[in-house]
Chain A
């Protein structure tokens, strides 16, 4: 996603420097470029409050911009790393408190602006949830971090606390399981 300012694209470095200086437009740009991906990632991961959790993630991200070093790809990986850790924290916290309502029954937020896009998004979310629901958590995490967060194997390994080979194995097994699942359901591949 291009980092636009007043209709003009700005290089990531410029936006990042302005965001570090507290420029509102730059902060807004960073949030708008990655917030949807983070929110979708958390939603597919069945976070209880994906939007609230997304806000928490970006509060941490924007307040710690000074500690970030790297390019745009690294920045995306850094943001999803933070998102995954927040998600893990929420899961641990959820395990200590009773579950009042099933996440499947919770309606996803709908943007009244573009109904068709919202419906497509809602259907896609439902499918991905069902598909990922058949995967073990580790495989699901690897697949989502690879496809949504665009993290490399080397970046995922420390995040999951596994070796590089283990992450590769999880990736391969997860991909194989998804393929079998779609073939079984008769989805034309």
Chain B
């Protein structure tokens, strides 16, 4: 293509462009571009007229729908938020329910089955220990009246303590549940021993064989108050157990150990001991024997001793809970204790040994932890009423 041709095309393009501009403006482009004007006129007719009927989709848009998508999004967002709110509410309700149950279980306001169910949770989440339910022990005292019977373990099967006591009594072996007695730090130590002066019962029983001398050990405990300090080293050997278990046998020799424990415990021990001492004329020698027996761990001693051993275990177990819950022990010493068992039993026990009487007393002692009151009691309750019931 020659330059002239190019220049001609450029001129023609410019002329054509000008013609289109003129036509679009509605002016006459001239005769040279008449055809363009005719085409433009036809196109105006074709593109004129009413708009076509909009489709459904377009009608929706024309109705002002552009905002709808946003509404839908908002609705979805709100629905999601609502779901989360519901979930949060459900979770909060569940948490509140669990917390309430745990609290109730910790207080002991729930029945034993429920407590058993909640125990793991409570023990895991809270500092409370539900291993022993004070309510379970109530029947125990009534069962135990027969001192000579090794059977006493007849605790309510529900309570873990009973389970432990039963096997221990028969085999002399400690089931896992015993740890309370065996393990020093265990709860069993704390409350159990002192108040459980039930062991003292054995001691208190006249004619108790030497094997039962566990109780003498208690009596030995009795000597503890004053004697604790002067407790022979042999006794002191056991102190560890005694301290822990607070169980009768050990108690005697361990009296010191008890004393070493919390004041409440020590007080109980002393209270028992005081009673024992007061009632029982157990000579210091007995008490000394006790240590030998007691050399076996309190729990063990209970087992080894057989019947008598049962008593301690039970007592330990039973008292354990009581020891846990200061209510019974601390609230009211002897008969005053809310539990029916103790009151009925006390008299009999009292006959047998101040130790039993000491239960209440011991409890009282536990609460108080004060040597004074516990010591003073021995004289009061024990002897008179007890004699008739069990011993006879």
Contacts and interface: CB of A to CB of B under 8 A. Distances in A.
A37 interface: yes
B46 A27 contact: no
A178 B61 contact: no
Contacts of A63: 61, 66
Contacts of B62: 24, 27-28, 31, 62
A131 B41 CA distance: 13
Interface in B1-57: 9, 12-13, 15-17, 19-20, 23-24, 31, 33-36, 38-43, 45-55, 57
B63 interface: yes
Contact of B51 (A39, A52, A143, A168): A39
A36 B35 contact: no
Interface in A15-58: 20, 22-24, 27-28, 31-32, 35-37, 39-41, 43-44, 50-52, 54-56, 58
B70 to A, nearest CB: 10
Interface string B164-180: 00000000000000000
Nearest to A40: B47
Contact of B64 (A27, A51, A179): A27
Contacts of A37: 47
B55 A43 contact: no
Chain B facing A: main interface SS: helix
Interface residues of A, number: 60
A128 interface: yes
Contact of B9 (A59, A113, A172): A172
Contacts, number: 149
Contact of B24 (A27, A56, A150, A171): A150
B369 to A, nearest CB: 81
B55 A121 contact: no
Interface residues of A, dominant DSSP: helix
A147 interface: yes
A36 B51 contact: yes
Interface string A147-164: 110100100000000000
Nearest to B41: A124
B124 interface: no
Contacts of B66: 20, 22, 62-63, 65
A93 B36 CA distance: 32
B17 A153 contact: yes
A146 interface: yes
A56 B60 CA distance: 12
A111 B51 CA distance: 10
Interface in A126-178: 127-128, 131, 143-144, 146-148, 150, 153, 165, 168-169, 171-172, 175-176, 178
A117 interface: yes
A102 B24 CA distance: 32
A56 B58 CA distance: 7
Contacts of A43: 46
Given A55-B52, A118-B49, A179-B33, 4 more contacts: A59-B61, A109-B52, A121-B46, A182-B38
Interface of A: 20, 22-24, 27-28, 31-32, 35-37, 39-41, 43-44, 50-52, 54-56, 58-59, 62-63, 65, 109, 111, 113, 117-118, 120-121, 124-125, 127-128, 131, 143-144, 146-148, 150, 153, 165, 168-169, 171-172, 175-176, 178-179, 181-183, 187, 189
A-B pairs, top 9 by smallest CB distance, nearest first, are A40-B47, A35-B51, A55-B55, A189-B34, A51-B52, A124-B45, A40-B46, A179-B35, A37-B47
Interface of B: 9, 12-13, 15-17, 19-20, 23-24, 31, 33-36, 38-43, 45-55, 57-58, 61-67
22 contacts: A22-B64, A31-B51, A35-B51, A40-B46, A43-B46, A51-B53, A55-B58, A58-B58, A65-B66, A121-B48, A125-B45, A127-B42, A128-B39, A147-B24, A171-B16, A175-B35, A176-B16, A178-B35, A178-B36, A178-B39, A181-B35, A187-B38
